[in-house]
Each structure stands twice: as C-alpha cells, then as structure tokens.
Amino acid sequence: MSELNNIALKILENGKGILAADESTGTMTKRLDGVNVPSTPENRLLFRETLFSASSMTECIGGVILYDETIKQVSSKKNKIPELISETGACPGIKVDTGAKVLAGSPDEKITEGLDGLRERLKEYFKLGAKFTKWRGVYSITKNFPSRLSIQSNAHALARYSSLVQECNMVPIVEPEVLMDGEHSAKECYEKTSEVIKKCFEELILHKVDLRGIILKPNMILAGNKSEDKISNEEVAKLTLKCLKNSVPSEVPGIAFLSGGQSEIEATENLNLINKHNDTNFIMSYSYGRALQQSALKFWSKDIKNIEGTQKVFNHRAKMNTLAAQGKWSKDLEI
Ligand code: 13P
C-alpha cells in the first residue's frame, strides 16, 4: 500500500499539481463551441496534445486526468498519449465515472454513476498506463439541499469506487464537489462542505480504503456566485483550511482543489493564500480544469496551428499555480 502513498506524493511533490483534461466529449464540445472550433476527435486531441507537450509539464504538472477517448489516442508523433505524459515525468490518470444523473428519490439532485463493470474497466486503464483515477460527486446548495440522501449515496459511491481502484493498484482521486452556483453564503458552503466531506470519509473507512493512498479533490469555501455575501480571499483561505482541518483524517497525504468556475487569477490567488496560512500536514495543491486551460484555449482557437504560442500561455498558468501551491505567488508575476 505504501506504493500508492508514493504515487500520491509524487503527483503533488514540490508544488506540482494536476491538469484536469478529462472533459467528457459533451463538455469539451461546449468548450470548443465557445471558441468557434469544430469539436472533432482530431481537434480535441490537438489541443490536449499541445498542452501535454509543453515544457511546464516537467516542472509543474505531476498528473494529468484523461478522458476515455484521449487515453486511447495516439499523438501526431505517433506516441500513445499515456506514454507522452509519462515521458514528462507526470503520471497519467483517468476519469472513470460515467457522469452525474438524476437521483431517484430526490430528482432535483444528482448521483454519479459508473460502478457497474468498473473493476473490468479499471484493469483496462491500468494496462493502458493509468496510475490514478478520478470520480466526481456533485452537490448543490439550496434551502433543502444537499439532502441526506444525496450526501449519503454519493459518499457510498465514492467509497465503492475508491476501494475498487486501490484493489487495482491505482490512486483514487475522491472529488466531492459542492457547487458554487447559487445564492448561498460562505457560511452555508462551509457547513455543507464539512458535512459532505465527513460523510465521504465515514464511508471510505467503512469500505477499508487506505487513506494514505488517496488524493482528496474538494471545492474551496466560497460564497455562491449569486450571493450578496462577498468574502475576501483571506477569508476564503481561512475558512477552507478550517473546514479541511476539521473534516479530513490526518493520514490523507494530499489535497488538490478543483477550480469550480473561479477565474484563473482567483483560483491562483486563493490557492496561494491557503498555502501561506497552511498549518496542517496536508499538501495543498491544485487539480484545475478551467483555471489551467481557459486562456490557452482562447489563444489556441485563434490559430490552432500555433502550438508554441499556446504552450507559452499554458506554461505561464501552470507556473503561477505551482508557485501558489508553495505560497510563493504574487500578483506582480502575472503578465
Ligand atoms: P474545474 O477546475 O474546471 O472545476 O475542473 C476540475 C474537475 O476536474 C472537475 O471535475
């Protein structure tokens, strides 16, 4: 089992973080539509391959989360994608859930699916070179939500997923995402996120998951994006640390935040402050999708053949976040 702990630590060593490039084809199509690039398998690969071959991969990125389509693709230089990633020193990972569906019994909430046949799919991904996996549970905050049913059933699924992944010698990323959409206050986000994370660990322990061999991927504690309640970045950092200190068992080696719709700079600034105030033993890094790729995608869409220019934009964001994961970022480093 210490092998899994080593993988988790390697992914997050020295301020390294995770590039979440595991958008499903539907989500990636939305992203590409947004910048007027046709969503073909070739274009999806070209953008992703451009990032995976960037120089910052070696110093900043410890892991890349792939989608099923990408892990089976071959690069323009005829490299298998997991090999291309491994050659940079980063670990290839794979999203294994099959998406959030309507939760029977509470149809305005979601339950993440994908447990049926998971053991067999994991064996296939392991053979393709995956060292870690991801599963995302998703929760909204309203007056009545997240319900006990949603908290309990998503925690159960995350735990069953995690124990299957460890059985197959990979590190599960456990991602319970409390969404920032809504009118809720930061205090409500703090309370609901604490409840969600505590229930996840209760189920992980029940399912005999080795907590030294997981990475937790939580949301930061933020006020809802339609809330009147505005809190400072300092308060975001302090509330986030307080929440995690009170709800995450000390065996967990690392925490890698999702960006969840924050702007690129906000996600970097908040991570930096979390690390400046970090008085825990947890590594606190990033596992960003949008906050690592947004500017690069916008730049790339203007000329999809401009590989070097796109990589420069991505390298900058990756470097800023790796500095933030060490509490060494400052605004004047932004260009
Ligand atoms: P964002 O950083 O864009 O929230 O994506 C992270 C992720 O992997 C969501 O599952």
Q: Of all atoms in ligand 1, which is nearest to the CA of residue 290?
A: 3
Q: What is the pLDDT along the chain (335 residues), one digit of tens a residue?
A: 599 999 999 999 999 999 999 999 999 999 999 999 999 999 999 999 999 999 999 999 999 999 999 999 999 999 999 999 999 999 999 999 999 999 999 999 999 999 999 999 999 999 999 999 999 999 999 999 999 999 999 999 999 999 999 999 999 999 999 999 999 999 999 999 999 999 999 999 999 999 999 999 999 999 999 999 989 999 999 999 999 999 999 999 999 999 999 999 999 999 999 999 999 999 999 999 999 999 999 999 999 999 999 999 999 999 999 999 999 999 999 97
Q: Which residues pair with residue 176 across a beta bridge? A: 137
Nearest-angstrom CA–CA distance, 100 and 111: 5
Kindly state the tokens that stand for 255. Answer: 């925490």
Nearest-angstrom CA–CA distance, 74 and 61: 20
- Tell me, in angstroms, the distance from the centre of ligand 1 to residue 220's CA: 12
- Tell me, in angstroms, the distance from the centre of ligand 1 to residue 20's CA: 6
Of the CA atoms within 13 Å of residue 16, those in its CB half-sphere come to 22
217 is known as an active-site residue:
yes
Specify the pTM. 0.98
Catalytic residue among 192, 198, 217, 319: 217
- Architecture of domain 3-333 in CATH? Alpha-Beta Barrel (3.20)
Alpha carbon 252 to chain centroid distance?
16
- Tell me, in angstroms, the distance from the centre of ligand 1 to residue 290's CA: 6
- Tell me, in angstroms, the distance from the centre of ligand 1 to residue 298's CA: 18
Residue 147 burial (10 A CB sphere; 0-12, 13-18, 19+): middle
- Which of 288, 284, 320 lies closest to 177, judged by CA? 288
Q: Give the helix, strand, coil percentages of the chain, each rounded to 5.
A: 50, 15, 35
Residue 188 burial (10 A CB sphere; 0-12, 13-18, 19+): buried
Number of H helices, E strands in the chain: 13, 10
Identify whether the C-beta of residue 13 lies closer than 8 Å to the C-beta of residue 88.
no
Residue 311, CA distances (Å) to 33, 36, 71, 125, 242 in order: 21, 20, 20, 27, 36
Nearest-angstrom CA–CA distance, 311 and 93: 21
Kindly state the tokens that stand for 238. Answer: 């302090």
Residue 150, CA distances (Å) to 36, 227, 270 in order: 36, 23, 28
Alpha carbon 42 to chain centroid distance?
24
Q: Of all atoms in ligand 1, which is nearest to the CA of residue 260?
A: 4
Residues with CB under 6 A from ligand 1: 20, 136, 175, 258-260, 288-291
